[in-house]
Amino acid sequence: MEMVHSFVSANNVMISAGLLILAYIFIATEKIPKVTIALLGAGITILLGLVSQTKMSGETLNPHYFINFVDFNVIFLLVSMMIIVNISTRSGVFTYIANELLKLTKGRPIKVLVALGLFTAVTSAFLDNVTTVILVLPITFAIARKLDIDPLPFLLTEVFASNIGGTATLIGDPPNIIIGSAAGFSFMDFLWNLTDVVAIILFTVITVLMVIFRKMLHADADKMQEVANIDNSHTITDKNLMIRSMLVLGLVILGFVTHDITHIETCIAAMLGASVLLLFEKPTDILKDVEWNTIFFFIGLFIIIGGVEASGGIKLMAEWILNVTQGSQQAASMLILWASGLISGVIDNIPYTATMAPMLQVIESAKGADYAFPLWWCLSLGACLGGNLTIIGAAANVIVSENAAKEGHPISFMRFLKYGIAVVAISLIICTIYINVKYL
């Protein structure tokens, strides 16, 4: 065993990087559940001694202790928001809001497309993308049946809007949670720096989709009348739960917004909100619906990346970027934006962002916070918006495609790609102009 450890110690950068690349490959092929890959990779990382199993090194704290590499701000924020959203959804409030919005469209298909797109985007900014599309899918299929039209335009608009809307806030998309924790950005930092560009991208993309799908968005007058007269009187299933959950969700978001004044971390505000709601529920009923696969995937991934960080591999990657871009802030920003957008369309944006975040921390320590500031926003925009490129680019895409197939409206990889390329190209071009004008 000593021979193994001495070999690993001599080649720790290569071995830790190899483990991370292998994990990426297996995650991308989806042959084995990604949580299994992450935990197996974490176990091997610890076993090989790339990170330490022990908390103490003599009488001092061990900086390479594997727990130190798990970002518990991210973990607790994710778990807490999953609990809050899970409880809130049970009241039927989000379905009620969506139905009211659809009634305003008078059943006109092109207005329905815009309404569903806007609802999905705004909701995705405050709930996770998967929850949002799961909420809106049944409504979408019901509307398409009533109008007797193909749901494809609505479904694709919702997918693209969910990934775009989730980009706007700290809690909208997991990559932003990782970036916020690594860079020390608050909820308001994301709003000030991303909301305007996300709004421009959203309205541009929805306008383009309206033009592309205009021939498919026609329905008979009597069918439109059915949608205009949706019965929404029984959608709220528990009024007390709705009031309670909306009050808590509002206070949690207020906690996020006032972080710069109160200095209460976002994960603490979310934990308090989740705990208050759990006082009125059976915890076992709620906790079984938390996406524990996602949580343990994050934990395993943090440990694998911790191995690369402890070995000095992250520092080497940071130095490579600085060398390639010759220290140019503009070149580094554009490289990170476009590379993130294209790579995140092919592989899961969570492991990609989790790998890039510590690298940007190294760049920040080398070149200063002012130099790194636009780089963080380039990473966020690229990683979140790139998910629109392919059908496997984001979890929301997969959920929509699976449900569409069940309903008899399958969306093939190539058909999605045809629209995805246009949407991502538009998004990244707008981001390029925005980053250059605002920061460089």
Residue type, 158: E
Beta strand segments in 42-137, E:
56-57, 60-61
Report pLDDT for 1: 59
- Quick check: 411 and 155 in contact, CB under 8 A? yes
pLDDT of residue 196: 94
Instruction: Report the distance separating Cα 389 and Cα 346, nearest Å.
Output: 8
User: Tokens 């974490």 appear where?
Assistant: 42
Q: Are 125 and 166 in contact (CB under 8 A)?
A: yes
Residue 194 lies in a domain: yes
* CA–CA separation, 440 and 438 (whole Å): 6
DSSP per position, 122-173: HHHTTS-HHHHHHHHHHHHHHHHHHHTS-SHHHHHHHHHHHHHHGGGSTTTS
Q: Is residue 276, in this structure, part of any structural domain at all? A: no
| Residue pair 204/424 in contact by the 8 Å Cβ criterion | no
Q: Is residue 168 part of a domain?
A: yes
What range does the domain containing 49 cover? Answer: 2-59+93-235+291-438
Question: Of all helices (H) and strands (E), which one includes residue 203?
Answer: helix 187-212
User: Can you tell me whether residue 249 is helix, strand or coil?
Assistant: helix
Nearest one of 152, 126, 285 to 216, comparing CA atoms = 152
The alpha carbon dihedral of 343, 344, 347, 348 has a sign of positive
Give the number of C-alpha atoms closer than 13 A to the C-alpha of residue 102, restricted to the C-beta side.
29
The answer to the question of residue 86 being in a domain is no
CA dist., res. 376 & res. 379, Å (int): 5
56: β partners: 61
With respect to residue 217, please indicate whether it lies within any of the assigned structural domains.
Answer: yes
Half-sphere exposure of 274 (CA within 13 A, CB side): 21
Beta-carbon contacts of 404 under 8 Å, excluding residues fewer than 6 positions away, are: 151, 152, 155, 410, 411
Answer yes or no: is 274 within a domain. Answer: no
pLDDT (tens place) for every residue of the chain, 440 residues total: 566 667 767 778 888 888 888 988 887 777 888 889 989 999 999 998 888 888 877 778 888 888 888 888 888 988 898 899 889 888 888 888 888 887 888 888 899 899 999 999 999 998 778 778 888 888 888 888 888 889 999 999 999 999 999 999 998 888 999 999 999 999 999 999 999 999 999 999 999 999 999 888 888 888 788 777 887 888 898 999 999 999 998 999 899 888 888 888 888 999 999 999 999 989 888 998 888 888 898 899 889 988 888 888 888 888 888 888 888 999 999 999 999 998 888 777 888 888 899 999 999 998 999 999 999 999 999 999 998 998 878 878 878 888 888 888 888 888 899 999 999 999 999 999 999 999 98
Say if 279 falls within a structural domain: no
Residue-level pLDDT at 5: 67
Task: Evaluate whether residue 426 is within a structural domain.
Answer: yes
Q: Tokens 């809690």 correspond to what residue?
A: 171
CA 42/CA 307 separation, integer angstroms: 9
Q: What tokens were used for 123?
A: 């909701």
Burial 390-414 (b: 16+ CB within 10 A, else e): bbbbbbbbbbbbebbeebeeebeee
DSSP of 337-350, one letter per residue? HHHHHHHTTTS-HH
**What's the domain count of the chain?**
1
70, two tokens: 């798990």
270-275 CB contacts, 8 Å cutoff, 24+ apart? 270/76, 270/77, 270/80, 270/81, 270/84, 270/171, 271/76, 271/80, 273/80, 273/84, 273/248, 273/249, 274/79, 274/80, 274/81, 274/83, 274/84
Q: Report the largest interatomic distance among the alpha carbons of the chain, rounded to a whole angstrom.
A: 79
pLDDT for residue 155? 94
Strand partners, 368: none
Residue 310's contacts (CB-CB under 8 Å, 6 or more residues apart) are 12, 16, 50, 51, 64, 69
CA-nearest of 132, 183, 189 to 157 is 132
Cα separation, 94 vs 102, whole angstroms: 12
Model pTM score? 0.84
